[in-house]
Amino acid sequence: MADNIHNFETERLSIRLLEEKDIDLYVSLYTDPKIMRFIAEPLTESKAKSSFFTAIKLNNEAPFKQVIWAIVDKSSNEACGIQNLSMHYEDKRSAEAGLILARNVQGRFYPEEALTGMIEYGFTKLGLKTIFAYASQKNRASKRVVVKAGFTEFDIAEDKLSFKVESAR
């Protein structure tokens, strides 16, 4: 894994900043109707590519507003998902977590592992105090993942469930 202060590892995953070589993965995730069904309307290929280059640009801004990582399976060395922390504008000590995973690796408990690693990274390396996550009420898998990663539900509004995890420090 390239040496970068924002890279980290879990038992089975290498988490590294999104790179230009990840464009095909990014486009495939954000244009897939099944993957996007509980997130938003799938993007067109051109919008997904534009969004990708914006994400790359955001990773290079200082101070960062968002950190976007590729999730890499250590056993195959293949990028299989994307996760991010988006800093809240009003409170720089809090952020929103997001994660999207390729269908071919779903069911391997990678989301829980990647999210748990990102929480630890956010608290220890970025000095965050609170990390939020949101999920559609229809997406039972997402709810299970965030709860298993340590989040607690704190609000339900229409179709959206709100979760948070707070640093013990």
Q: Smallest Cα–Cα separation from 86: which of 100, 66, 70, 68?
A: 66
Q: How far is CA 147 from the centre of its chain?
A: 15
User: CB 120: neighbour CB atoms within 10 A?
Assistant: 14
Structural domains in the chain? 8-129 (3.40.630.30)
Burial class (CB in 10 A: 0-12, 13-18, 19+), 157: exposed
Give the whole-angstrom CA distance, residue 72 versus residue 114: 10
Q: Specify the pLDDT at position 94.
A: 94
Burial class (CB in 10 A: 0-12, 13-18, 19+), 142: buried
Q: What is the pTM of this model?
A: 0.91
Q: Specify the pLDDT at position 60.
A: 86
Task: Read off the amino acid at residue 30.
Answer: Y
Phi, psi of 100 (to 5 degrees): -140, 135
Give the whole-angstrom CA distance, residue 137 versus residue 166: 22
pLDDT mean for each 10 residues of the chain (169 residues): 76 96 98 95 98 93 87 96 90 91 90 95 94 92 92 87 90
Q: Are 7 and 18 in contact, with CB atoms under 8 Å apart?
A: no
